[in-house]
Amino acid sequence: MTKKTINVARVATSTALGLALAVGGTSVAFAHGAKDHASSHGYGHAIDGTIAGLTVSTPGSLTLTLRDGTSVTYTTTAATTYSEGHSTVASSVLALGENVDVMLNATTPTNVDSVRIDMVKFEGKITAITGVAGAATITLSGPNNTTRTVTVDAATTFEMKGQTASFASLVVGAEIGAIGLSSSNNTLTATSIRVSAPEGSKNVGSKHHDHSFQGQGFSSHDAGRH
């Protein structure tokens, strides 16, 4: 094979590969973009959205606002299952404004097979605490000078330095990471709270970092789809 023939073959191969990638790229982009659109028509897809309407009965209904702003209503049945994190829960725990992941039935795509309530995560420094153990409200300084509110109830658990802690470990100035259900972008009902030592504590370094708090799954961003 001559050098000219080899070059022509390489050009042809590159062109074919480029076309294949272009077609493949289009397919991927369509599949990703079609998640809300195709799933809203119920072709056995998993979808995510915010609960905008809810009828808790058998059968019941679940209306979601999707990421593109459209709303769609599905039917829940006696076979629909519900979970919150890793725990199975009853349908009665669903509430308006919660973010959920929904699996649609492949045979009857207007029906819901399962609903998983998304847990979200807040972190920040405590600036105020009101109330008592089992019924308290914690105010946090959030990112970009925002204020966030964490509600503590009787079911909230606490951890500090890898050990079980109590409500008494919450003090103004402490850094916390709270996981729970959010009814808005800045309000959360905590199922668990991990506490770092407050600024000025003897156990804290010059930048008040509690290393037991670092690297344990807490970030400056919320978990879930907001």
Domain ranges of the chain: 1-118, 120-195
Q: Is residue 224 predicted with pLDDT exceeding 60?
A: no
How much is the average pLDDT of 38-45? 52
Mean pLDDT over residues 77-105, rounded?
Answer: 91
Q: In this structure, are residues 206 and 101 in contact, taking their beta carbons and an 8 Å threshold? A: no
Query: Band of the pLDDT at 1, cuts 50, 70, 90?
Result: low
The answer on pLDDT for 220 being more than 50 is no
Q: Does residue 72 carry a pLDDT above 90?
A: yes
* Residue 200: per-residue pLDDT: 57
How far is residue 66 from each of residues 40, 45, 197, measured CA to CA in Å?
8, 13, 39
Question: Please, is 101 exposed, middle or buried when counting C-beta atoms within 10 Å of its C-beta (0-12, 13-18, 19+)?
Answer: middle
Which tokens sit at 154? 């009787």
Domain 1-118 classification at class level? mainly beta
Please answer whether residues 111 and 74 qualify as being in contact, where contact means their C-beta atoms are separated by less than 8 angstroms.
yes
Same fold, 1-118 and 120-195: yes
- Cα–Cα dist 118/210, whole Å: 28
Confidence band (pLDDT; 50, 70, 90) for 168?
very high
CATH topology of domain 120-195: OB fold (Dihydrolipoamide Acetyltransferase, E2P) (2.40.50)
- Please report which helix (H) or strand (E) contains residue 26, including its range: helix 3-40
Least confident of 87-96, 157-166, 167-176: 87-96
Question: Model pTM greater than 0.85?
Answer: no
- Can you give the pLDDT at residue 183? 67
Given a cut of 80, is residue 11 above it in pLDDT? no
pLDDT in tens, 122-166: 999 999 999 999 999 999 998 888 899 999 999 999 999 999 999
